Amino acid sequence: MRPALLAALALSLAACGGQGDAPKPGVEAAEAEKLKPIDPKEAAEAAAAKVRADKLAEQKPEFDAALAAKDEAKIDDLADAGNGWALYHRATNRLSSQDFSQQQAAFQDMEAAAQKGVADAEMWVGVKMAYGQDGYPLKPSSGLKMMERGARQGNVQAMLAVALMYEQDTFMADKKKARTWYEKAAAA
């Protein structure tokens, strides 16, 4: 990890509370032993995430083959067929276009890729929603939820964005959650 990023993480962790807020040795293990009731909503979300991840994993080899062959026509066909990786790839290409209609099409591809579970797309769409950028309506909680989906898949940028929202957002401030996400980002 780059030194500047480590320094920023250290400062952010310090802002979220010092060692006095850390769990006491042995307490964490005792708390882990307690059985928490299963939240049906969380269980349903976890099951849906698993289905998305499995389907996305099935699509990866075909996309990788088309990408290795530099076959943009095949990638477009895969994107049209709903391949999440191909949708994300096409979206990133279209975003760099100077043509407004191509950029609008990129937004649609990016949203579709996010719905398929591509972590980078979830991060991108989540930020746009959370801050109301590029024509997206301002929906901080929906954006945060989308970014958290990407963060749970290991996207470090999403982890940092989620932590920053929990640290600095007036209405969603939660220093403990911010610290948890900063720690996960530092460990990744």
CA distance 95 to 92: 5
Q: Is 27's pLDDT higher than 70?
A: no
Tens of pLDDT, residues 86-118: 999 999 999 999 999 999 999 999 999 999 999
Tens of pLDDT, residues 51-91: 888 998 999 999 999 999 999 999 999 999 999 999 999 99
What is the model's pLDDT at position 7?
55
Please tell me whether the overall predicted TM-score, pTM, comes out greater than 0.95 for this model: no
What is the model's pLDDT at position 118?
95
Answer yes or no: are the C-beta atoms of 53 and 61 closer than 8 Å: no
What is the model's pLDDT at position 52?
87
For residue 128, is it left (φ>0), alpha (ψ between -120 and 50) or beta?
A: alpha
Q: Is 15's pLDDT higher than 90?
A: no
CA-based torsion, 127, 129, 133, 136: positive or negative? positive
Q: How far is CA 26 from CA 17, 184, 187, in A?
A: 20, 21, 21
What is the model's pLDDT at position 89?
96
State the average pLDDT over residues 25-39.
Answer: 62
State the average pLDDT over residues 41-53.
Answer: 84
Tens of pLDDT, residues 148-184: 999 999 999 999 999 999 998 877 888 999 999 999 9
DSSP conformation class of 171: T
